[in-house]
Amino acid sequence: MSLWSRISNAVQGERLNREIDEELQSHVEEAIASGRDPREAHHAFGSTLRAREASHSVRVAGWLESLLADVRFGWRQLCRNKVTSVAAVLSLALGIGSCVAAFRLIDALLWRPLPISNSGDLYVLSHKETGFDGKPLEDDHWATPDFNLMRDAVKDQADLIAISEAERTDITWSTDDDVEKAHVAYVSGNMFPLFGLEPELGRLLVTADDRAPGAAPYAVLSWDYWNHRFGRDPRVLGRPLHVGDQNFQIIGVGPRDFTGVEKGTVSDIFLPLSMNRAVTEESMPWHRIFLMVKPGVNPATALEPLRQHLSAVNRAFGSACSTCFRGETQADINRYLNQKLVLSPAGAGISALQKEYRRLLVVLGLLAGLVLLIACVNVGNMMTAQAAARSQEMALRISIGAGRRRLVQLILSQSALLALLASVLGALFAAWSAPFVLSLINPPDNPARLALSADWRVLLFGFGLIVLIVLLLGLLPALRASAVRPVVALKGGEDPYSPRRLMRGAIALQVAFCFLTLFLSSLFVVSFQRLQNRPLGFSTDRLLLLETVAGKGQSSVVWSQTAEALRAAPGVDSVAISGWPLLGRIRINSDVSINGAPPSPTPAFFLNVSPGWFSTMKIPLVSGRDLRPEDASPGAVIVNETFVKTYFPGQDPIGHTFARGTNQPLNTIVGVTRDVPDHDLREPNLAVFYVPINEVDDKSAPKTVDFATFVIHTDTRNPLALADSLRQLIAQRHNGLRVSNVTTQLDLVRDQTIRERLIAMLAAFFAAVALLLAGIGLYAVLNYSVLQRRREIGIRMAMGSPRASIVRVVTLDVFVMIALGGCTGVALGFGAARYVQSLFYQVKATDADMIALPTCAILLTALVATFPAVLRALRTDPTEILRAE
């Protein structure tokens, strides 16, 4: 109560003074009314001013009042230099907003714990081994029988939980025609209880749901999915759900915040692990394994023994597994058996997105931080210049008794005012930019989803940032200003060089930061350009892709007939079929065995295609012929040039044969095509062979095809315009074929470069801002320095110094600082580039043009920024200066 009244009195200081005066006045009047002589009454009362001051200081919070006075004064200072203040606030806001946005993304994807109990005790199990290409490989997918063995082996110290990735799956709620997509995750029944999760509705999956394969046809919806798909309708319980040919029943809805353990993907539907057909497959790694130590077990000591125990069980499983290594060489089997198990903390979730974007986000944070630092240096310089201009005022304040603490407070409150204004704008910028950047991650039809809540973590970060900025901006000028020696300053003879020395140091710092930003940005932009301009070797123009599934499989004849029907549709030029699209997400390797020899250590990759696929994709044949309708697999194959180089170096491969593993039927090479990137634009071309879409088994009976992609060359510029009518056309044939996904070849190519495009775009943005800010900073410092040295310049001119030497005097030290900053920037750049090397494509930090590009940009900016100041220096009129001084 009392503190509050003192605070409110401080805010309303003037009103308080009026009230005190009124009370004192009424006292004297009372005295006169009671018959005392007016003069005597006034005299007896003494100084009203002193009484008022004494009362005033009792009734207000003094510190607050002086603070308010300082803030008001600071505000007036800011208003006096409107343009610079607005520029300062805007540049700081951009820096703060970018930093907060980067923090929100990094925190949401990498740091924020999952909304489960004991998230700190959660670990994920992965295995490290040497891949077939000799590179180290870490993978966290496991086969269920292996999981079962490991779970039982460690059940006294820890619980193992199996959770599959949330796969975007075709599901049906009512009739077969209404197929929709949902992210479906298979989880072991112990997940919900161990995570301490309570149902919002109905019940969740329990351990009993794991008891036998196929025995628990129950589904749990995530709260998020329940909300946006069913509008939180409680009648959803008991509804049937069809996934593939399985039927499930909705038994419950999960808690509000829980969207699975996969950061970046929201799981819509949870199904019991036991309902996936892969649970009995020994050789099918398909889900992750999480480990949660039991309460009372200390992870620090228990983890390593657990890991060794799991390792032994896993190795025993591998050795005993009869189906795991069928047809593999002993070396491959040993490679697998010698894998090393790793337990890593998973309290913040685990996802491919984290792996893929970790470095990118760190770079983003770094760039945002650099821009903020550059902005801080700019504003700091501005304040140093202003403080220098106010040194006489400061001297006066000290002379009449202002304490040093009070002066520091005076200047710090001005920088706090700047920082606060900027942080309000910055918060708005962050609120917009973080979701915007998030929406650019992943293809538009399957966007990354993260909870970007603005909670205490973000607030704390923002507050810390503001404190840091206030100190960065204000402390140095404040200490300098408060150290003013009044006698010297009032005489006007303070060392004129010291603020300039400080500002020159700041220039070097700024150039270093700017160089680093530009350097990294140009690496990213050039990477993106080279990746995008990589020759594809096939045409993406007007190609529509219909990814089609046949629930129970269909013969290749039916697929060919459907292709024939599509060919007859209006607007369609040509139609071909491939197992999956080029640069899609699928790639399957195959052994290659030549002349009955054991499979070669380097595998090749294959793709099933129909006749005419090469001409539809516009992939040229180098020699030989295309596949024919009567060709079947095994039989005729077409190989690419890398395949020839790898397996038949220096030979004409046409007519040669190979088998897909030992004791497999032979394939005859009938043609050779040019290399095309088949899976990943970033990778070099690999050995690929193309086999006919119609496959036959050992007894020459045709095999059925479960899924394939119709590749349709249309005659419209926008192939997607035909998608609906062609999808209808397929559905109307009622032959079990159903379009599951529609895309274009162009989009698939674009999706390949999403990450590179994103980082290049953001880096270019930050580089432009950094360059602009550095230019402004340089201009301001030089301008200030010329203004301050106009006496010296005037004297030099009067003594006949040539213009060239005036220019040198003015600019020399600045360019020395630029050179110094540039060198520091190169060193920093090399260090940073090494960390993000994995994000580059065909560029190296040491490339000469990668260093030349930012150097030229900075020099050009420096020239433009110094020009006005140099002009001002040259226009100095010596007579005027000398007269004025």
Interacting residues with another protein (CB under 8 A): 1-2, 5-6, 19-20, 22-24, 26-27, 29-31, 34, 44-48, 50-51, 54-55, 58-59
Please report how close the Cβ of residue 31 comes to another protein at its closest, in angstroms. 6
Q: Which is nearer to another protein, 21 or 129 (CB)?
A: 21
Please report how close the Cβ of residue 15 comes to another protein at its closest, in angstroms. 13
Please report how close the Cβ of residue 349 comes to another protein at its closest, in angstroms. 54
Alpha-carbon distance of 792 to 161, in angstroms, equals: 77
Contact, 219 vs 248, CB < 8 A? yes
Phi first, then psi, for residue 137 (nearest 5°) are: -140, 135
Contact, 147 vs 341, CB < 8 A? no
The gap from C-alpha 552 to its chain's centroid, in whole angstroms, comes to 40
Q: Map tokens 């060489």 to a residue.
A: 329
Q: Which is nearer to another protein, 32 or 67 (CB)?
A: 32
Q: Which is nearer to another protein, 49 or 468 (CB)?
A: 49
Six token digits for residue 620 = 């040229």
Please report how close the Cβ of residue 64 comes to another protein at its closest, in angstroms. 14
Query: For the chain, how far is it from start to end, CA to CA, in angstroms?
Result: 59
What residues have CB less than 8 Å from 698, skipping those under 6 apart?
A: none
Cis-peptide, bond into residue 634, ω within 30° of zero: yes
The CA distances from residue 482 to 383, 406, 440, 610, in Å, are: 14, 9, 49, 83
Alpha-carbon distance of 382 to 526, in angstroms, equals: 35
The CA distances from residue 832 to 419, 520, 854, 856, in Å, are: 29, 8, 15, 20
Alpha-carbon distance of 480 to 475, in angstroms, equals: 8
Q: Which is nearer to another protein, 57 or 439 (CB)?
A: 57
Please report how close the Cβ of residue 44 comes to another protein at its closest, in angstroms. 5
Partners of 184 in beta bridges: 167, 269
Alpha-carbon distance of 429 to 102, in angstroms, equals: 11
Please report how close the Cβ of residue 45 comes to another protein at its closest, in angstroms. 5
Please report how close the Cβ of residue 348 comes to another protein at its closest, in angstroms. 51
Q: Which is nearer to another protein, 7 or 424 (CB)?
A: 7
Q: Which amino acid is at 324?
A: C
Q: Which is nearer to another protein, 9 or 866 (CB)?
A: 9
Strands 666-673 and 246-253: unpaired
**Secondary structure of 424-493 in HEC code, one letter for each residue:** HHHHHHHHHHHHHHHHHCCCCCCCCECCCCCCHHHHHHHHHHHHHHHHHHHHHHHHHHHCCCHHHHHHCC
Q: Which is nearer to another protein, 52 or 406 (CB)?
A: 52
Q: Which is nearer to another protein, 29 or 880 (CB)?
A: 29
Q: Which is nearer to another protein, 31 or 754 (CB)?
A: 31
Please report how close the Cβ of residue 27 comes to another protein at its closest, in angstroms. 5
Partners of 219 in beta bridges: 250
Contact, 365 vs 437, CB < 8 A? no
Q: Which is nearer to another protein, 58 or 882 (CB)?
A: 58
Burial class of residue 464, CB neighbours in 10 A (0-12, 13-18, 19+): exposed
Alpha-carbon distance of 795 to 810, in angstroms, equals: 14
Please report how close the Cβ of residue 403 comes to another protein at its closest, in angstroms. 24
Please report how close the Cβ of residue 26 comes to another protein at its closest, in angstroms. 5
Alpha-carbon distance of 857 to 845, in angstroms, equals: 17
Q: Which is nearer to another protein, 46 or 231 (CB)?
A: 46
Q: Which is nearer to another protein, 58 or 827 (CB)?
A: 58
Q: Which is nearer to another protein, 52 or 567 (CB)?
A: 52
Please report how close the Cβ of residue 28 comes to another protein at its closest, in angstroms. 8
Contact, 638 vs 689, CB < 8 A? yes
Output b/e per residue, 474-510; b: 16+ Cβ within 10 A: bebbbebbbebebeebbeeebeeeebbebbbebbbbb
Please report how close the Cβ of residue 30 comes to another protein at its closest, in angstroms. 4
Q: Which is nearer to another protein, 58 or 468 (CB)?
A: 58
Q: Which is nearer to another protein, 2 or 846 (CB)?
A: 2
Q: Which is nearer to another protein, 48 or 148 (CB)?
A: 48
Alpha-carbon distance of 435 to 418, in angstroms, equals: 26
Burial class of residue 189, CB neighbours in 10 A (0-12, 13-18, 19+): buried
Partners of 667 in beta bridges: 658
Q: Which is nearer to another protein, 35 or 231 (CB)?
A: 35
What residues have CB less than 8 Å from 479, skipping those under 6 apart?
A: 408
Contact, 376 vs 95, CB < 8 A? yes
Partners of 292 in beta bridges: 122, 159
Please report how close the Cβ of residue 417 comes to another protein at its closest, in angstroms. 30
Please report how close the Cβ of residue 828 comes to another protein at its closest, in angstroms. 57
Please report how close the Cβ of residue 47 comes to another protein at its closest, in angstroms. 7
Please report how close the Cβ of residue 62 comes to another protein at its closest, in angstroms. 12
Please report how close the Cβ of residue 13 comes to another protein at its closest, in angstroms. 14
